[in-house]
Amino acid sequence: METKKFEDLNKGDQIKADLYSRSNAMNGKYRVGQLGLDDLVGIKSTDTFFLETLKMKADLADKMIAEAESQGKNTSDPKIMKELGEEINAVGTPLHKSESIMTAIFASLHLIVYYGIAIGIWGLVFKKSFLAFGFWGAVVGLLISLLSVAPVIAFQRTKEKVRDMSFGAGALWGNLGIIIGVVGLIAWIIRLIFFK
C-alpha cells in the first residue's frame, strides 16, 4: 500500500493527521477528557471549517493540559483529565459550517419579516399601500441582514457563539424593527381615531 506524504494530503486530511499525531491524542488524554478529538473517522475531509474548529479546540486543550501539568497536576489521572475536559468543552461545542449558515439564514428571514411588517404599517399611516411599503421594509431587513447579521453569525465556530450572536442580532435589529412597527401602529390608530 502506497503511503502519501503529508504535503500531498488535502487540507482536511492534513488537519486530521495533525490531530491524530498530537501527543495528547496518542497518550489518550483527549479520549479520557471526552473532548471529541480522538475519533475523526466520521468527519469528511472536505469539511475543513469543522476540522479547523476541532484544531482550534485541540490547540486550547494542549495549552490547558500543559498549564495543568506546570501547576503540578497529574493529567494521567482520569479524574483530573475529566475535570480538564469539562473546562475545555465549556468553551463551546464545535459545529459544522452548514449549521451556522442555516442559523444566519433564519435570523435574516426574521429581520426581513419584522421590517416588512413594521414599515408596511407606516404605509397605512400615510394612506399608501401596505404591500408597497412592506416590500421596501423587507428590502431594508435584507440589507441589514446581508451587511451585518448574516456574515457575523455564519462565521461563528461553536453552537454557543452562534446562539449568542443570534440573540444579539435579534436584540439589536429585531427589537428596532418591532419598535418601528409599534410606533407605526400607534400612529395609525391615532390617525383612525382623530383624523378620519
pLDDT of residue 43: 83
Domain hosting 44: range is: 6-90
> Looking up cell 490531530, which residue turns up?
19
Q: Please report whether residue 1 resides in a domain.
A: no
45 and 120 belong to one structural domain:
no
pLDDT of residue 118: 96
pLDDT of residue 90: 82
The pLDDT averaged over each successive group of 10 residues in the chain (196 residues) is 67 88 90 85 84 88 91 90 87 81 94 96 93 96 95 88 91 94 94 84
pLDDT of residue 71: 92
Of the residues 59, 90, 121, the one at which a domain ends? 90
pLDDT of residue 42: 82
Of the residues 67, 90, 113, the one at which a domain ends? 90
10 and 82 belong to one structural domain:
yes
Q: Please report whether residue 185 resides in a domain.
A: yes
> Structurally, how many domains does the chain consist of?
2
Confidence (pTM): 0.69
Instruction: Report DSSP letters for 76-117, one per residue.
Output: TSHHHHHHHHHHHHHT--B--HHHHHHHHHHHHHHHHHHHHH
Close Cβ partners of 99 (under 8 Å, ≥ 6 residues apart): 159, 162
pLDDT of residue 4: 66
